[in-house]
């Protein structure tokens, strides 16, 4: 990884770069994940580079000392695109363009599922183009925009191929697993998943629940309360907290059913990652989940925050693992046809091309 970064730092010529994808936040987030997955696909046909902390060295990456190079047109002669995905990145782009007079076109991708604050609206109005990651996020925008939904890396997230991809390789009890992955906190609905498992697992002894994800200090009391509930119910062996795991794609392949119970979400990639792994999905209608999961074909969608509806949607899969298998296969077909990363990259490229055509 370090060697790859050294290669990029030694060879990258800012004059050749036509698109900059800033990542001005060190902490891992959905935005960071989008950049990490999408930029390598974009780089196949675009002169694109990232800038900022917290990114792997495998990405083409500008150093801070190269920022003055952004004040000049790239060698192609067409304006460089600054593609922001957060407020701080819009602010940086506006400062470069209007204060330092950098010849930039400003693009913003919005995943928010809420009305924007006045300052954010002010920033958005100064963008040359705006992308919404879903029809729902687009409904909160007050400017013209194009919907380009996120894609999934179908090479990384794929159906089981080896014995290590089978649930049996986990050496956990049971014959089948239901999973809930991501940060453990109230917003993500981890408690709703645990409550459903406390109710359902005693009736379905072949199933084990697997929870992965980071617990930050502020959410540790929340996680510990869930652990106590599980222990009191005598289900500590069948509802397992695995923490952060290095091989999360393998866990999508090991579970027969994936549950995304978020109370609120930006876009939410995990259902797509599950579908690309041929895993059935039960999700809330937070974020873009309802635009990803095909009700009754690839899984089920329930109202966000409704624990009873979540339990009712999960139970048919525990009753009939064959239903989970069939919906998983359907989900795989949908993920590959509608949501490959290449389709997202093409949609974003169309926005760039329209700006370049304007001159």
**pLDDT recorded at residue 7:** 41
- 305-341 pLDDT per residue, tens: 999 999 999 999 999 999 999 999 999 999 999 999 9
Cα separation, 2 vs 25, in Å, equals: 20
Half-sphere exposure (CA, 13 Å, Cβ side) for 294?
Answer: 15
pLDDT tens, residue by residue, 276-308: 999 999 999 998 999 999 999 999 999 999 999
Question: For the chain, what percent of residues have pLDDT higher than 70?
Answer: 97
**DSSP 8-state code for residue 59:** S
Give the chain's domains with CATH numbers.
2-151+340-358 (3.40.50.2000), 163-338 (3.40.50.2000)
Q: 152 forms bridges with which residues in the sheet?
A: 340
- Please state the rounded mean pLDDT for residues 85-102: 97
pLDDT in tens, 239-284: 999 999 989 999 999 999 999 999 988 888 899 999 999 999 999 9
Per-residue pLDDT at 232 exceeds 70: yes
Q: What is the pLDDT of residue 265?
A: 87
Which of 91, 137, 138, 134 lies closest to 112 in space, CA to CA? 137
SS3 label, residue 154: coil
- Give the pairing type, strands 176-181 and 146-147: unpaired
Share of residues in the chain with pLDDT > 90 (%): 88
Q: What pLDDT is stored for residue 98 in this prediction?
A: 96
Over the chain, what HEC string results?
A: CHHHHHHHHHHCCHHHCCEEEECCCCCCCHHHHHHHHHHHHHCCCCCEEEECCCCCCCCCEECHHHHHHHHCCCCCCCCEEEEECCHHHHHHHHHHHHHCCCCEEEEEEECCCCCCCHHHHHHHHCCCEEEECCHHHHCCCCCCCEECCCCECCCCCCCCCCHHHCHHHHCCCCCEEEEEECCCCHHHCHHHHHHHHHHHHHHCCCEEEEEECCCCHHHHHHHHHHHHHHHHCCCCCCEEEEECCCCHHHHHHHCCEEEECCCCCCCCCHHHHHHHCCCEEEEECCCCHHHHCCECCCEEEECCCCHHHHHHHHHHHHHCHHHHHHHHHHHHHHHHHHCEHHHHHHHHHHHHHHHHHHC
Q: Which pLDDT band, with edges at 50, 70 and 90, does 10 fall under?
A: low
pLDDT digits (tens, 9 = 90+) for 205-220: 999 999 999 999 999 9
Confidence of residue 114 (pLDDT cuts 50, 70, 90): confident
Asked if residue 3 has pLDDT above 70, the reply is no
Where residue 33 falls among pLDDT bands split at 50, 70, 90?
confident
């Amino acid at each position: 990884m370090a060697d790859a970064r050294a290669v990029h730092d030694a060879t990258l010529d800012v004059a050749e770069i036509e698109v900059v994808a800033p990542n001005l936040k060190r902490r891992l987030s959905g935005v960071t994940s989008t950049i990490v997955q999408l930029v390598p696909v974009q780089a196949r046909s675009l002169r694109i580079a990232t800038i900022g902390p917290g990114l792997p060295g495998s990405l083409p990456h500008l150093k801070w000392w190269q920022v003055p190079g952004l004040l000049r047109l790239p060698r192609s002669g067409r304006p460089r695109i600054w593609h922001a995905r957060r407020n701080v990145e819009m602010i940086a782009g506006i400062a470069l363009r209007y204060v330092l007079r950098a010849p930039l076109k400003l693009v913003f991708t919005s995943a928010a599922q809420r009305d924007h604050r006045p300052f954010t609206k002010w920033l958005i109005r100064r963008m040359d183009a705006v992308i919404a990651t879903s029809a729902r996020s687009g409904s909160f925008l007050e400017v013209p925009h194009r919907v380009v939904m996120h894609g999934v890396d179908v090479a990384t997230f794929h159906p089981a191929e080896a014995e290590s991809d089978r649930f049996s390789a986990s050496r956990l009890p049971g014959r089948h697993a239901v999973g809930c992955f991501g940060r453990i906190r109230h917003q993500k609905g981890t408690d709703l998943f645990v409550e459903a498992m406390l109710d359902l697992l005693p009736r379905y002894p072949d199933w084990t629940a697997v929870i992965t994800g980071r617990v930050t200090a502020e959410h540790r009391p929340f996680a510990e309360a869930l652990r106590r509930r599980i222990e009191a119910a005598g289900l500590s062996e069948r509802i397992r907290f695995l923490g952060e795991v290095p091989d999360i794609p393998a866990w999508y392949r090991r579970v027969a059913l994936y549950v995304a119970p978020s109370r609120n979400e930006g876009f939410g990639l995990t259902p797509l990652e599950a579908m690309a792994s041929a895993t059935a999905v039960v999700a809330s209608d937070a974020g873009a989940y309802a635009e990803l999961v095909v009700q009754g074909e690839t899984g089920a969608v329930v109202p966000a925050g409704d624990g009873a509806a979540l339990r009712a949607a999960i139970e048919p899969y525990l009753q009939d693992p064959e239903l989970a298998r069939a919906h998983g296969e359907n989900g795989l077909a949908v993920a590959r046809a509608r949501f490959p990363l290449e389709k997202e990259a093409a949609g974003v490229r169309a926005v760039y091309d329209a700006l370049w055509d304007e001159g």
